[in-house]
Amino acid sequence: MTEADIAEVLELDRKIFSTPWSEDNFESAVSLSYYSSMVAVENNEICGFVVCRQLFESADLDIIAVASEQRKKGLGRLLLEKEIELLCENECEKLFLEVRESNEVALKFYEGMGFTQIDVRKDYYDKPVENAFIMVKEL
């Protein structure tokens, strides 16, 4: 992801999430060295994106999304695999994430990518208020 992608990524993010990221959040993701981010592009259109934040040997998967009409074609897996490759090059050892407990598709996706649930964070999310499952993958 680069500065030039932000407007398109913001538009996609707003279509997908009830509490979308701000422009400032994405500005940080492309400019601060501890973030790594990628977009998936088809026919010159951004159809997916991922952002991770690494501190020493562990990282957080802050956001991953694929446009609804492009799902179930392997793009989410590809984005996450490429992101993990980058993290491994940076000697990252663990990747953590939070996910809404009702997000069955994402839970299946993350389980399939080798994440395991380690904790629950009560009422972590807004709109609607909901618990988060904390998951981790050893890299």
Sheet with 58-66: list strands edge to edge. Answer: 35-42, 45-55, 58-66, 94-100, 130-138, 116-125
Return the bridge partners of 96, or none.
60, 136
- With CB under 6 A as the contact rule, the residue among 8, 20, 30, 73 that binds ligand COA is 73
75 binds ligand COA (CB under 6 A): yes
What CA–CA distance (Å, rounded) separates 121 from 106? 17
10 binds ligand COA (CB under 6 A): no
Phi-psi region of 123 (alpha: psi -120 to 50; beta: other; left: phi over 0): left
Question: 104-112 vs 75-89: helix axis angle to the nearest 10?
Answer: 50
C-beta neighbour count of 5 within 10 angstroms: 18
Among residues 92 and 99, whose Cβ is nearest to ligand COA? 99
Per DSSP, 139 falls in state -
> Quick check: 121 binds ligand COA (CB under 6 A)?
no
The residue whose Cβ lies closest to ligand COA is: 76
Q: Does 95 engage in binding with ligand COA (CB under 6 A)?
A: no
Here's the x/- map for ligand COA, 35-54, by CB under 6 A: it reads as --------------------
Q: Does 108 bind ligand COA (CB under 6 A)?
A: yes
| Binding to ligand COA, residues 14-33 (CB under 6 A) | 16
User: Least CB distance from residue 69 to ligand COA, whole Å?
Assistant: 10
Residues near ligand COA, by CB under 6 A: 16, 63-66, 71-77, 99, 103, 105-106, 108-109, 112
